[in-house]
Amino acid sequence: MTTTAEQPPLEVPDAPVRAHRSARPLGIGLVVFASGIVVGWSVAQFLGATDPIGAVGSRVIDHVPAAVKDWAIRTFGTSDKVALEVGIVVLLLLVSFGVGVAARRRPPVAQGIVVAMGVVGMLSAKGTDGIGAYVPALVGTVVSLLALWFVTTPPVTRGRRSAPDLVPGLQRRDFMIRASAVGAATATVGAIGYGVRSGRVTQLNEAAAKISLPTPQSAAPVVGADAAIGHGVEPFITPNDSFYRIDTALSVPRIDLADWRLRIDGMVDHPLTLTFDQLLDLGVVERIITMCCVSNEVGGKLIGNARWLGVPLTKVLEKVGVQRGATQVASESDDGWTCGFPTSVALDGRDALIAVGMNGEPLPPEHGFPVRLVVPGLYGYVSSTKWLTRINLTTMEDFEGYWIPRGWSQLGPVKTQSRIDVPRTGTSVSAGRQVIAGVAWAQHRGISKVEARVDDGDWMEATLSTDVTDDAWRQWVVEWDAVPGDHKIYVRATDSTGVTQPSEISAPDPDGATGWHSIRVSVS
């Protein structure tokens, strides 16, 4: 049988009533939290401050045990932030339910939970925007408390009593009316906040797109048609919109160029602060550099190759005068992320760049607008700070970047790797002449040889795309006479120092994955 609120169940009271009970506390809790969160978020937009949910998310990202974060990147890849957001929503639903239950029985407990959540929001935003950082969560908490009071306080004059009370003395109908009113007010404030935010993002994006970057004093190497192997291998240059993205920022920092400064200090003779124009005045060069993430699994896609326009890091280091004993070039981003690498690497002649352009455009916001570091031959986690605001000369002992206390190696030279893009694993191909093709990389050493092997056959040496630069990957292709059956195909690369990739697969943690990539195909 079915029951409605107007027809209290008589025959089987237990089950349906419980269904009502569980729906209603959730309703109360949702109204209470949604109003506070949405209003808090909107206030943050008005103030240009960190929003409480974003702040909590960032704290979770920064304080979650390294193993959990590694697992999240492994499991969800570049969708790890979506996973976190889903997690936050699920958690809020649970807490909402708790508040709803408490509101019915012990109102002070419900108020206590709301205040506790507000305090978490305030503490999470601490240190981001001065005193203003606390305002959004504070306003949100007050709104949630008012909403709690409003939707759970019975009206003075009692109406007809036909349905079980939601909270002692409060009927479902009263609750629905009040919840709708709170909902409408919340939606209005939220829409205004959203409008403010979209307006600001559009304005910053337009300003960013408008900046004209100078012509490089030294151009990137020319990429001939022979650098393109084709056959469905990933292109030599990765377009900006398909370049992998890895960072700890829950929402992409949006930086106003007029406010941006780069500070170079620490163990230097003449600390320096540069505006964007002053940085560009030092002169830019363009270089093709492949960047990859240390979290990339064997065969993974956390790698991309771009033409980077930037000021040579050495120019800036010469200007400030690096002091003897300053063994580490540490750097810091607008969102508080840090990393560092040996000064000897910065000064060994490689094209480390303070980059402002990517593939002929200003850096996209996701990839560090307005300025980031790119260092050939080092994994991103030790070198390629996006939204760069500070370069700090220090020692290897005195400073550890973001990922180091989380269990990753302090040194992060890129390991030689190779990947099979064609055929795709798990697919079937027809017998006869087929190609096996992919990419291989050993940034700053260069790739000298790639070989592929079918089952336990002989290694077949691949044809390589033109050697454009040691700092970029190379595409490779092997022709293969495919015979019917199920096959396993392996690849291995040799770098220009003559070292061939080891076969054993090891996990990315702590300093980059090793091992031969392999795929399975069936030939018919």
Ligand X SMILES: Nc1nc2c(c(=O)[nH]1)N[C@H]1C(S)=C(S)[C@@H](COP(=O)(O)O)O[C@H]1N2
Binding site for ligand X (CB under 6 A): 243-249, 293, 333, 335, 337, 367, 380-381, 384-387
Which of Mo ion, ligand X, none does residue 384 bind (CB under 5 to 8 Å by kind)?
ligand X
What is the CB neighbour count within 10 angstroms for residue 463? 14
> 337, 384 in Cβ contact below 8 A?
no
Q: Which residue, 333 or 417, has its beta carbon nearer to ligand X?
A: 333
CB atoms within 10 A of CB 137: 31
Residue from the set 37, 246, 291, 330 that interacts with Mo ion by CB under 5 A: 246
Question: How would you write 472-521 as a 3-class SS string?
Answer: CCEEEEEEEEECCEEEEEEEEEEECCCCECCCCCECCCCCCCECCCEEEE
Structure tokens at 210: 């408008």
300 binds Mo ion (CB under 5 A): no
Residue 391 binds Mo ion, judged by CB under 5 A = no
- Nearer to ligand X by C-beta: 243 or 399? 243
Distance from chain centroid for Cα 219: 31
Query: In angstroms, what is the minimal distance from the CB of 372 to ligand X?
Result: 7
The binder of Mo ion chosen from 140, 304, 357, 380 (CB under 5 A): 380
Instruction: Tell me the residue nearest to ligand X as measured from the CB.
Output: 380
Which does residue 248 bind out of ligand X, Mo ion, none, counting CB within 5 to 8 angstroms by kind? ligand X
- Which is nearest to 521 in space by CA: 418, 405, 435? 435
In the complex, minimum distance from the CB of residue 68 to Mo ion, in angstroms, rounded to a whole number:
17
**Surface-to-core class of residue 59, CB atoms within 10 Å of its CB (0-12 exposed, 13-18 middle, 19+ buried):** middle
Q: Which amino acid is at 445?
A: R
> Minimum distance between the CB of residue 80 and Mo ion, rounded to whole angstroms?
12
Q: How far is the CB of 119 from ligand X (least distance, A)?
A: 27
DSSP-derived secondary structure for 415-463: PPEEEEEESPTT-EE-SEEEEEEEEEE-TTT-EEEEEEEETTS--EEPE
Q: Which entry of Mo ion, ligand X, none binds 245, CB below 5 to 8 A by partner kind?
A: ligand X
For 393, what's the count of Cα atoms within 13 Å in the CB-facing half-sphere?
27
Q: Closest approach of Cβ 134 to ligand X, in Å?
A: 24
Q: Binding residue for Mo ion (CB under 5 A) from 72, 293, 329, 452?
A: 293
Q: Select 56 or 523, whichever has its Cβ closest to ligand X.
A: 56
| 350/406 with CB nearer ligand X | 406
Of 75-83, 209-217, 381-389, 505-513: span binding Mo ion (CB under 5 A): 381-389
Please, which residue, 20 or 263, has the CB nearer to ligand X?
263
Q: How far apart are CA 373 and CA 436, in angstroms?
A: 34
- Paired strand residues for 514: 506
Closest approach, Cβ 387 to Mo ion, in A, equals 15
Min separation Cβ 442 and ligand X, Å: 17
Does 299 sit near Mo ion (CB under 5 A)?
no
For residue 271, count other CB atoms closer than 10 A to its CB: 13
Q: How many of the other CB atoms lie within 10 Å of CB of 3? A: 17
For the CB of residue 295, give the shortest distance to Mo ion in the complex, in Å. 5
Q: Which residues contact Mo ion by CB under 5 A?
A: 246, 293, 380-381
